[in-house]
Amino acid sequence: MYLIVIGPPGAGKGTQAKILEQEYGLKQLSTGDMLRAEIAGGTELGKKAKAVMDAGNLVSDEIVVDMISSRIEQPDCAKGVIFDGFPRTVDQAEALDVMLADKGKKIDAVIEFVVDEEALVDRLRNRIQQTIDAGQPVRSDDNEETLRNRLKVYRGQTAPILPYYESTGLLKKIDGMLPIDHVTQAIKAILK
Ligand code: AMP
């Protein structure tokens, strides 16, 4: 099974992707996590991506498409993948279709997290506080200014993907403002 979770930053996609990963034996692939690993590893790619990510803009389609296309070939992706934070542009969505078609596969469902943007700012404040309380480092793009830009980028570059999936009947909307377990139930009902 190949799923996409899509929605603005902080909508809860990663949380749900991790739950679904356990439940369905899928592999969560977060391009954000993969890029942060490149930064942590001090690679050339990481160095290139850092400033773009810190500003809340998108890294190039080519970089993320290459990362995903080699990653989905790994054995831990054999049962399927939950794409989290990818695709983020129409070009990435088209590249993903081609990649999967080459393997004789296709996207099974696209789950859109519908959320109230102002509530996301509150969620971000909570997330930062929880991270600090847990003694962990706060992500360098986790601040209000960058979040506002990431929301703008989402509206401008990522939301235009939605009609692309709607036209093929793959798009399902869920209310991302519900408590975590309710969101999980809503997704499971869609995947039945
Ligand atoms: P995320 O963890 O998904 O919120 O991603 C954090 C940052 O990584 C984003 O704000 C972008 O700068 C970059 N990023 C992650 N995924 C993508 C993608 N599919 N395309 C372009 N940039 C991405």
Q: What is the CA radius of gyration of the chain?
A: 16
- Give the number of other Cβ atoms within 10 Å of residue 86's Cβ: 24
Listed in sequence order, the DSSP H helices in the chain are 13-24, 31-40, 44-54, 61-71, 90-102, 117-133, 144-153, 161-166, 180-191
Task: Give the mean pLDDT of 142-157.
Answer: 94
Confidence of residue 66 (pLDDT cuts 50, 70, 90): very high
The SS3 of residue 75 is helix
Q: Is 150 a catalytic residue?
A: yes
Instruction: Judge whether 146 and 55 are in contact, CB under 8 Å.
Output: yes
Name the residue with the closest Cα to ligand 1, atom 22: 58
For residue 127, what pLDDT is reported?
Answer: 87
Which pLDDT band, with edges at 50, 70 and 90, does 119 fall under? very high
Query: What is the C-alpha separation between 43 and 16, in angstroms, rounded?
Result: 29
The predicted pLDDT at position 101 comes to 96
**99 contacts 68 by C-beta, under 8 angstroms:** yes
Q: State yes or no: is 127 an active-site residue.
A: yes
Instruction: Calculate mean pLDDT across residues 112-127.
Output: 92
CA of 111 to the centre of ligand 1 (A): 18
Q: For the residues 60-89, what does the mean pLDDT come to?
A: 97
CB-ligand 1 contact for 4 (6 Å cutoff): no
Ligand 1 atom nearest residue 13's Cα: 3
- Of the pLDDT bands very low, low, confident and very high (cuts 50, 70, 90), residue 123 is confident
Q: Please give the span between the terminal C-alpha atoms of the chain, in angstroms, as a whole number.
A: 12
* CA–CA separation, 54 and 19 (whole Å): 27
pLDDT in tens, 81-116: 999 999 999 999 999 999 999 999 999 999 999 999
36 is catalytic: no
Is the CB of 9 within 6 Å of ligand 1? yes
- The pLDDT-based confidence of 54 (bands split at 50, 70, 90) is very high
Catalytic residue among 18, 105, 125, 139: 139
| Least confidently predicted of 67-76, 141-150, 175-184 | 141-150
Give the separation between CA 11 and CA 121, rounded to whole angstroms: 10
